[in-house]
Amino acid sequence: MNLFWIEIYKTFSRWRTYIGFGVIALIVIITEVVMKLSADEILHRMLRSLEKDFLISGNVLNGWFVTTFIMNSLHIHIPFLITLVAGDMVSSEATSGTVRLLLIRPPSRSRIISAKYITTLFYTAGLVLFLGLLCILLGLTLFGSGDLIIHHYGRFGITYLSEGEIPLRMFFAFMAAIWSMMVVASIAFLLSTLVENSVGPIIGTMAVVVVFLVMGNFPLDFFRSLKPYLFTSYMTFWQRFLDDPIPWQEIGSSAAVLGLHAIVLFLIALGVYTRKDIKS
């Protein structure tokens, strides 16, 4: 536990740790202010297919909708911000020349790497929670509260969630988002144990995420057949908490696949780190 707090202190002493929080704050503030200024255009676009057949009243463009809207871009910009810290977690010791000093101290290598990994997950959770809290608080302040209308693109569905049940569903959705991002953090962490600089893990992780996302979304049968084997296909499982009814089985299997990825990636990182040659 002591090791964990040391890693936390080290991580949050670096200025690069706060880049992610700053970028998220910037993205959320700009997005929500622009959405507020172009509310009519957004409403028209989002309700175009419905307004042909329905008269719609009530606060459709509310803080919950805005939060969901921003959350949908989670798998595009958050992974990069996570890699900034996760990709630096182990390799920074080599870069700064402290790795030998660290490893000659009493704690075992496995304890050190575990503490670093838990710190990575802590940072990942903190970043996603920061995104969630900022989106919700700013969204509710600017747009007010209301029921959530979700248009499931590609699935021909519209779900209407009553205001009262949204906070709990949002909580679960953000927990699921943290769970998804753990895999991205684990990839960056593993790459960080393999190299001695931080740029490689950052670029490597982003390359994996982008390539997998592109492959999973290409409208060709070959790529469609690969989709179940790509972890990025399960990363949006947080959206299922906004379905009605909640598909628990699908959520469970997605969470299991992602969890398994994170565990295997950590075990590989553990194996690599415990056998790492620091003499040369």
Instruction: Note the residues at the interface with another protein (CB under 8 A).
Output: 40, 43, 45-46, 48-50, 52-60, 146-147, 149, 151, 153-160, 162-163, 217-219, 244
Q: How far apart are CA 202 and CA 218, in angstroms?
A: 24
CB-nearer residue toward another protein: 31 or 59: 59
Q: How far apart are CA 39 and CA 183, in angstroms?
A: 35
Closest CA relative to residue 125, chosen from 13, 234, 262: 262
Q: How far apart are CA 245 and CA 170, in angstroms?
A: 15
CB-nearer residue toward another protein: 58 or 106: 58
Shortest Å, Cβ 163 to another protein:
7
CB-nearer residue toward another protein: 165 or 196: 165
Shortest Å, Cβ 17 to another protein:
31
CB-nearer residue toward another protein: 17 or 236: 236
φ and ψ at 159, to 5 degrees? -120, 135
Shortest Å, Cβ 155 to another protein:
8
DSSP 3-state assignment of 150? strand
The residue type found at 280 is S
Shortest Å, Cβ 38 to another protein:
13
Q: How far apart are CA 51 and CA 126, in angstroms?
A: 39
Shortest Å, Cβ 162 to another protein:
6
CB-nearer residue toward another protein: 18 or 218: 218
The residue type found at 135 is C
Q: Residue 279's Cα: distance from chain center in Å?
A: 36
